Structure 1
Amino acid sequence: MGDSPILEDRANPPLGRFLGHVAPGMEPRAIQTQNRPCPEFRPLIRSTPRAFILRGDSLLVQEKRHPDKGLYFTLPGGKQDPGETLTECLKRECLEEVGAAVTVEGLLHVAEVYRLKTGERERQHQLDFVFACSVPEDYTPVLGSHPDPHQTGTRWILAENAQQLRPAYVTKLFSLGCTRGLEVYLGPYND
């Protein structure tokens, strides 16, 4: 058992013990987090909040050009840093990428994205959290101070450009006007 305090409740032992597949040393442990990630925890799944910003019939997107993928558009947003909430991350990413101080209005959808980056053999498993957001009325699309790799601009697009949106779930959301409906979990998508 070592120095790690194992959670023991003889009346309710861990489910894995009943199933017989908890590896030694992998039993649940009490970890002090104080609402911050534990330094020994390294997530294998990346949390990525995304901003769905509609103005009339137009969607605010990042314009990207890639040597292999050509021209495509993505929602602003990005990787959550340790200790940062999803909404804090989204506000920071939007300011960095599209120069916008966004108002986060609420969670719309969650999608799993399996992304294969150029030059890598393994896919990144990512959870995209899509939030309804708004920008000030006088906002004009600009390239932010820290744009994404391959980002060449920021612009409003209409539904006829939806086929160039990535990942594919964004095309689906834009064609539906991103109404929340009953389907919050959108499922897995390859990118």
Structure 2
Amino acid sequence: MNLSRTLPIKRAAHVYLVRGEELLLVEERMDDGSIFYGLPGGKAQPSETLADAAVRQVLVETGLHVTNLEFVSLLEGELLTGTRNECFANFARFTAAFHGELDPTDPEVVGVKWVPFEQVEGLVRYGPPPECEERNPLIWLPTRDFIAGKARAYYPI
């Protein structure tokens, strides 16, 4: 990493909510009108821990209350190098117990669905625009490993 410059830090946390052999995904509409499938969770506020961000964001995006968070992995490093959204990222992944009814209140979420493990990767869109870090294949590598039962604790970006 080039230490002669300062990058903004993006901190986010997502939760693997599992029901049998299904993973809960949220559906969001992108600026180009397409549907993006992602893990429930999102950006941490400045004074918020990644675990607290995960709990707050999952509630807003799904309506579910999560408890007993267990750390799974951390993604860390420079993201979107050379784009207008270049940043240093710290993305945590957790699992958790959950209860409640699916009832998203986030206006960006257009749906929430349980997806069989074998169908998750088929819903992921990679590629342009590069400003959408969720479309970077490196962001989805920990999820692929988690579904396969081979999650690592650390993923450099």
- TM-score, length-scaled by structure 1: 0.60
Partner of 1:127: 90
The answer to whether the 8 A contact 2:76-2:90 is kept is: yes
Label 1:146 to 1:64 Cα distance change in 2 as closer, same or farther (>3 A): closer
SS in 2 for 1:96: helix
Pick the aligned partner of 1:84 from 22, 45, 48: 48
Q: Which amino acid counterpart does residue 172 of structure 1 have in structure 2?
A: R
> What fraction of aligned residue pairs are identical, expressed as a percent?
24
Pick the aligned partner of 1:160 from 111, 114, 119: 119
Shift of 1:52: 0.8
CA RMSD of aligned residues (A): 3.0
Asked which structure has the greater RCO (Cα within 8 Å, sep 6+), the reply is 2
Partner of 1:146: 106
Partner of 1:65: 29
* Higher relative helix content: 2
The answer to whether the 8 A contact 1:96-1:146 is kept is: yes
The answer to whether the 8 A contact 1:163-1:171 is kept is: no
Deviations 1:52-107 (Å, cap 9, x if unpaired)? 11110000111123254833311111111222222222111111111111114311
Pick the aligned partner of 2:141 from 165, 169, 175: 169
The answer to whether the 8 A contact 2:142-2:155 is kept is: no
Q: Which runs of 4+ in 1 moved over 4 A?
A: none
**Structure 1: unaligned runs, 5 residues or longer:** 1-22, 24-42
Partner of 2:153: 184
Find the aligned partners of 1:154 and 1:99 in 2 and give their Cα distance.
Answer: 10
Find the aligned partners of 1:130 and 1:104 in 2 and give their Cα distance.
Answer: 13
**Structure 2: unaligned runs, 5 residues or longer:** 125-133
The answer to whether the 8 A contact 1:61-1:73 is kept is: yes
* Higher relative strand content: 2
Label 1:115 to 1:93 Cα distance change in 2 as closer, same or farther (>3 A): farther
Of structures 1 and 2, the larger Rg is shown by 1
